[in-house]
Amino acid sequence: MHLYGSQGDLTNSSVMGALRLLDIPNSVEKVVASESRRTFYKVKDLGSGVIRTCRPTQRYCTCDQFIQVVMSDAITCQHVLATKLSEALGLTQETKITDVAFAEYMCS
């Protein structure tokens, strides 16, 4: 099943995966640089428990499926969708870090 939009589609597996992620307490963490207010999200992967880094405003995720999903004309992966749903539902926990720590994390 696909949900179609003007910029691509959402696969049923992305939607269901995102909803399953939201069932896990604190599975989505918004990390905010205190001075610049730049953000990224940490999302715990369901299967492996690995933390995925997401930048939803850039439609980017570090998961293995991201390239395949986006290259197949889908809108995004389950992790990026989970960040958007988590924000909309008020489930996101927020952590503030320094701009230096933000840059170090993004470069690691």
Percent of all residues in the chain with a pLDDT value above 70, rounded to a whole number? 85
Report, as an integer, the average pLDDT of 67-72.
72
How far apart are alpha carbons 19 and 32 in whole angstroms? 24
* 7 has a pLDDT exceeding 50: no
Domain ranges of the chain: 2-107
Q: Which of 3-7, 17-21, 97-101 has the highest mean pLDDT?
A: 97-101
Burial per residue of 54-69, b for 16 or more beta-carbon CB atoms within 10 angstroms, e otherwise = bbbeeebbbbebbeeb
Nearest CA to 32 out of 98, 96, 100 is that of 96
Answer with the residue of higher pLDDT: 49 or 52. 52
Long-range contact pairs involving 52-59 (C-beta distance under 8 Å, separation at least 24): 52/79, 53/105, 54/79, 54/80, 54/83, 56/80, 56/83, 56/84
Crossing angle (nearest 10°) for helices 12-22 and 78-89: 50
* pLDDT value, residue 73: 66
From the CB of residue 28, how many other CB atoms can be counted at a distance below 10 Å? 24
* pLDDT value, residue 71: 67
How far apart are alpha carbons 87 and 8 in whole angstroms? 22
- Report the chain's mean pLDDT, rounded to a whole number: 85
Report, as an integer, the average pLDDT of 11-29.
87
Nearest CA to 42 out of 92, 89, 77, 85 is that of 92
Q: Band of the pLDDT at 58, cuts 50, 70, 90?
A: confident
Report, as an integer, the average pLDDT of 20-39.
94
